[in-house]
Each structure stands twice: as C-alpha cells, then as structure tokens.
Amino acid sequence: MSDTVSDYKVGPGKPPLHTRFKKGQSGNPRGRHAKNLPALLVEALNQPVAITENGRRRQITKREAVIAQLVDKSAAADLRATKMLLDILKDIEEHAGRAPPREPAPFTPADEEVLETLFARLRRVWEQEAATQTQGD
C-alpha cells in the first residue's frame, strides 16, 4: 500500500490531490485576456525614447515626442500638421467643456448705454485734441 492517497507527500511541484485540475478541465477556461486597442495605444505611447535636445540627451515618452514634432512642424508652416494640431485642440476644448461659444450674446440695453457713453467720451477727447492741434499750428 505504498502508492495510496495517504502516502502522497505534498511539496514543491506536488500540489494537494484535491486542488489538482480534473481530467479535461483547463486551468484558464476563458483563455488569456486580450488587451483592447486603447490600452495598447496608451502602453505604446508611454514607452521612453532617447532624444538629443540642445546637445544633451534625455529621455521622454513617445507621447511627448509625437506632440513636440507636431508642434514643430506646425510652427514651420506645414499645413497638414497645423490642421491636425487645431483639430486636436478643438477636441480637447470640447471634451473639457470650454469650447468657445458659437454666437456672441446680443447686447442688452445696459450694454447699449455703456457704449453710447464711451463713444460720447471719445468724441469729446478727439474734439479737444483737434482743437489743440489747430491752435498750435
């Protein structure tokens, strides 16, 4: 009776009999989970890359390198890069909820009154300056 269950010794590489996989049963029935596209993109963009800037080498993420190149090309009058950069900025503003208003708000009667007062004050200043110049000539 040397090969019975009671003689089985548990140890490294020898799990208890009651916890072993049964015949035909996989250890991971659903399989390995695949990463989704956003997770893969984030992982790739966060990888470091070495760059040389002003004669010095330093490491930045690929995300920072892509944005830096896009901004540099846009500043060098590359129209495609400029359009891509403006589209990105527009998306960021919309997602942040700070998109500029589509139409300016109409003037209220109080706004009209302020403008009229300002225009009257400017007219007086201009008339005084014109009078000063004609007297000086």
Domain borders along the chain are 35-101
pLDDT tens for 31-54 read 888 889 998 999 999 999 999 989
Q: How many Å apart are CA 10 and CA 17, to the nearest integer? A: 9
pLDDT above 70 coverage of the chain, percent: 91
pLDDT bin (cut points 50, 70, 90) of residue 98 is: low
3-state secondary structure of 135: helix
> Is the full-model pTM beyond 0.75?
no
How much is the average pLDDT of 8-27? Answer: 83
pLDDT of residue 16: 87
Residue 26 confidence (pLDDT) above 80: no
pLDDT of residue 61: 96
**Between 28 and 107, the higher pLDDT residue:** 107
Residue 84 confidence (pLDDT) above 90: yes
3-state secondary structure of 83: helix
pLDDT of residue 3: 55
Q: How many Å apart are CA 49 and CA 47, to the nearest integer? A: 7
Query: How many degrees, rounded to 5, is the angle at CA 102 between CA 117 and CA 83?
Result: 125
